[in-house]
């Protein structure tokens, strides 16, 4: 009995894989879109600034102020677009989005430093893009602080200056793609897998083959397993493709265990497929399945911690993220890939994925049996 059931499931899995792979366009869509999306996110979705246009208002015009400006421009990040005499003139550059920062070196900057007081440097930022301006301000503050420390050290000052030495673990250069690309292993995989699963039964209804499944000797459980396993195989394949892009194209070093990573991905796919099967059981056609898929996917991505930490969200939304499998997938992939985290550290996240899969699968099975009846 068990062997016969397994044979039926294998037959259904083979049939589903043939449906997916028989069309050349379908085969290409399993590999090409994940690679393109990974490359686009890796290069375009970045918070790193390589060039910051700024306007200079040097009201001091001394050797010290010129040395400070040389320090800024020697960093290779700041590019001066205008040199003006009044702050009001530079404001127009901010309004026209020609400059991100205005750096104003106040009168008596050198004399104040010589007297042991604080030389005033004002940094005015374009707050319409708070992320970019915040990073640019951080760069400017770091360079000005370094210049001040070097200036004091060069004159043997006894001032109690504190030099801050920063080190970033797991991402030494603080490159955005180091945290973004590993997160895409779960994000893009969920996008493709959930949509594929959601449209599987809907496709049967549209093509008129669903009635053949009903008269065939398949139980609802066997049909669900036969629909879920091919999606999991496709998901693992796409995750592996993105992993290869991260390793060999972006050359992001892998610090953890592949076994731990794939175990976490398998649990994540089981939870994602549970959601997909639930959507598939309530959708009457492929159009409805696609719309429902996008309705669920957008909140999943926004509440996953991909772009912003979930701890910064309101409490109500933080509770909502607890049922989001993508949140746990991103934490697992980042932790394994960048930190080398093991099973002991990731056990709470993996148990959460098991709980989500254990909740969604029975609901999807009940909905499926209900639609069959």
Burial of 138 (0-12, 13-18, 19+ CB in 10 A): exposed
* Residue-level pLDDT at 208: 67
Distance, CA of 182 to CA of 164 (rounded, Å):
30
Instruction: Give the tens place of pLDDT for each residue, 26-43.
Output: 777 778 888 888 888 888
| Least-confidence region, from 155-169, 188-202, 316-330 | 155-169
State yes or no: pLDDT of 223 exceeds 80: no
Question: Residue 349 in contact with residue 332, Cβ under 8 Å?
Answer: yes
Main-chain phi, psi angles of 356, to 5 degrees = -65, -45
Instruction: Give the tens place of pLDDT for each residue, 55-109.
Output: 898 888 888 888 888 988 888 888 898 888 887 777 788 878 888 888 888 888 8
214: enclosing H helix or E strand: helix 210-215
* Residue-level pLDDT at 353: 94
Task: Tell me which of 266 and 153 has the higher pLDDT.
Answer: 266
Q: How many Cβ atoms from other residues are within 10 Å of residue 199's Cβ?
A: 23
Task: Tell me which of 336 and 25 has the higher pLDDT.
Answer: 336
Sketch out the chain's domains with CATH numbers.
2-45+175-372 (no CATH), 52-154 (3.40.1710.10)
Tokens for 341? 């985290």
Map tokens 């993508």 to a residue: 326
State yes or no: pLDDT of 350 exceeds 90: yes
DSSP string across 303-347: TTTSSS-GGGS-HHHHHHGGG-HHHHHHHHHHIIIII---HHHHH
Model's pTM, two decimal places?
A: 0.79
Task: Tell me which of 361 and 331 has the higher pLDDT.
Answer: 331
Mean predicted confidence (pLDDT) in 203-215? 69
* Residue-level pLDDT at 249: 93
Instruction: Give the tens place of pLDDT for each residue, 235-281.
Output: 999 999 999 999 999 999 999 999 999 999 999 999 988 888 888 77
Mean predicted confidence (pLDDT) in 168-193? 84
Q: What SS3 state is found at 54?
A: strand
Question: Residue 313 in contact with residue 303, Cβ under 8 Å?
Answer: yes
| Confidence at 213, pLDDT banded by 50, 70, 90 | low
Q: How many Cβ atoms from other residues are within 10 Å of residue 51's Cβ?
A: 9
State yes or no: pLDDT of 331 exceeds 90: yes
* Residue-level pLDDT at 363: 82
State yes or no: pLDDT of 184 exceeds 60: yes
* Residue-level pLDDT at 173: 76
Q: How far is CA 284 from CA 77, 199, 210, 296, 371, in A?
A: 55, 10, 11, 17, 10
* Residue-level pLDDT at 328: 95
State yes or no: pLDDT of 150 exceeds 90: no
Distance, CA of 355 to CA of 359 (rounded, Å):
6
State yes or no: pLDDT of 167 exceeds 80: no
State yes or no: pLDDT of 122 exceeds 90: no
Give me the helix-helix angle, 258-282 and 176-207, nearest 10°: 40
Q: CA-based Rg of the chain, rounded to a whole angstrom?
A: 28
* Residue-level pLDDT at 332: 95
The sheet carrying 52-58 orders its strands as 78-84, 52-58, 101-105, 121-125
Question: Residue 30 in contact with residue 192, Cβ under 8 Å?
Answer: yes
* Residue-level pLDDT at 46: 73
């Amino acid at each position: 009995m068990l062997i016969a059931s397994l044979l039926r499931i294998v037959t259904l899995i083979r049939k589903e894989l043939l449906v997916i792979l028989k069309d050349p366009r379908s085969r290409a869509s399993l590999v090409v879109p994940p690679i393109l999306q990974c490359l686009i996110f890796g290069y375009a979705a970045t918070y790193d600034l390589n060039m910051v246009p700024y306007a200079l208002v040097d009201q001091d015009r001394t050797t010290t102020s010129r040395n400070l400006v040389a320090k800024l421009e020697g960093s290779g990040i700041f590019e001066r677009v205008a040199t003006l005499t009044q702050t009001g003139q530079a404001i127009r550059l901010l309004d026209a989005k020609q400059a991100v920062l205005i750096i104003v070196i106040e009168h008596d900057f050198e004399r104040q430093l010589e007297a042991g007081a604080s030389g005033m440097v004002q940094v005015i930022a374009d707050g319409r893009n708070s992320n970019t301006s915040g990073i640019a301000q951080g760069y400017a503050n770091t360079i000005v602080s370094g210049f001040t420390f070097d200036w004091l050290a060069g004159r043997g000052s006894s001032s109690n200056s504190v030099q801050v030495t920063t080190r970033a673990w797991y991402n030494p250069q603080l490159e955005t793609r180091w945290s973004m690309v590993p997160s895409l292993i779960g994000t893009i995989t969920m996008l493709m897998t959930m949509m594929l699963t959601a449209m599987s039964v809907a496709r049967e209804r549209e093509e008129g083959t669903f009635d053949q499944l009903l008269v065939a000797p398949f139980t609802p459980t066997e049909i669900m397993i036969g629909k879920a396993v091919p999606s999991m195989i496709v998901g693992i394949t796409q995750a592996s493709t993105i992993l290869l892009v991260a390793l060999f194209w972006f050359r992001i070093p892998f610090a953890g265990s592949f076994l731990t990573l794939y175990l976490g991905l398998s649990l994540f796919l089981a939870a994602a497929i549970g959601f997909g099967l639930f959507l598939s059981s309530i959708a009457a056609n492929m159009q409805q399945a696609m719309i429902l898929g996008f309705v669920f996917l957008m909140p999943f991505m926004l509440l996953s911690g991909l772009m912003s930490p979930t701890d910064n969200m309101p409490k109500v939304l933080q509770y909502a993220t607890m049922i989001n499998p993508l949140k746990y997938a991103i934490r697992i992939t980042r932790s394994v890939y960048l930190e080398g985290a093991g099973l002991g550290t990731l056990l709470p996240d993996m148990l959460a994925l098991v709980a989500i899969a254990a909740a969604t699968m029975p609901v999807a099975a009940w909905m499926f049996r209900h639609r069959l009846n």
